[in-house]
Amino acid sequence: MNNIRFKFGEPEHGWIGVIVGDSNHEVVLEISDVPCNSLYKLTDVLLELKAGSKFQEVEFSLEPDFALWKFINLGHLLEIHVYPNSSCEEPFVFSGCKDKVLHNRPSMTSARPRIQCRMH
C-alpha cells in the first residue's frame, strides 16, 4: 500500500494545479474556481471522511469539462477514484492508510484534520 499525496500549485488568474498521487503515479489537473471553488468542497469532503463518512465526491471544474474524485472510506483504508475528465470511464485508483492522509495536529484543540500536502 502506498501513501496518498496531494500537491497544490500557486493560484493564478482563477486556476490552480492540483495533483493526487502515490509512489507509482500521479494525476495532474489544472482546475478553475468557476463556477465554484472546488478546493472548499475538497476540504469539506476530507472533514466528512475524518468524521466517519463512508463515501464523498468532489467535482473539479476544468472549463468546460470537469474531473471527478470519489472518496471511499473503508475503515483504515481510504480509496480515491480519480476520473480526470468527463469522458474517462476507468478511474485511476489510489489507496492508502486513512490515518496517514487525514490526521490531527497534536497542537490543535479541535478535531479538524490536517491535509498532507507539499507546495511546489
Q: What is the CATH number of the domain that holds 60?
A: 3.30.2450
Give me the pLDDT at residue 107, please: 42
User: Looking at the predicted structure, is the pLDDT value of residue 27 above 90?
Assistant: yes
Tell me what the mean pLDDT of segment 89-115 comes to: 69
User: Looking at the predicted structure, is the pLDDT value of residue 106 above 90?
Assistant: no
Give me the pLDDT at residue 45, please: 92
Which residues in 58-91 are b (16+ Cβ under 10 Å) and which e?
bebbbeeebbbbbbbbeeeebbbbbbbeeeeeeb
The pLDDT confidence band at residue 119, using thresholds 50, 70 and 90, is: very low
Using CA atoms, how far apart are residues 72 and 91, in angstroms rounded to an integer? 13
What is the reported pTM? 0.81
Structural domain boundaries enclosing 37? 5-119
Give me the pLDDT at residue 16, please: 93
Residues 45-83: pLDDT tens digits?
999 998 999 999 999 999 899 999 999 999 899 999 999
Written as nine digits, the cell of 86 is 468527463
Closest CA to 98 of 68, 72, 60, 70: 72
Domain count, the chain: 1
Residues 28-49: pLDDT tens digits?
999 998 888 888 999 999 999 9
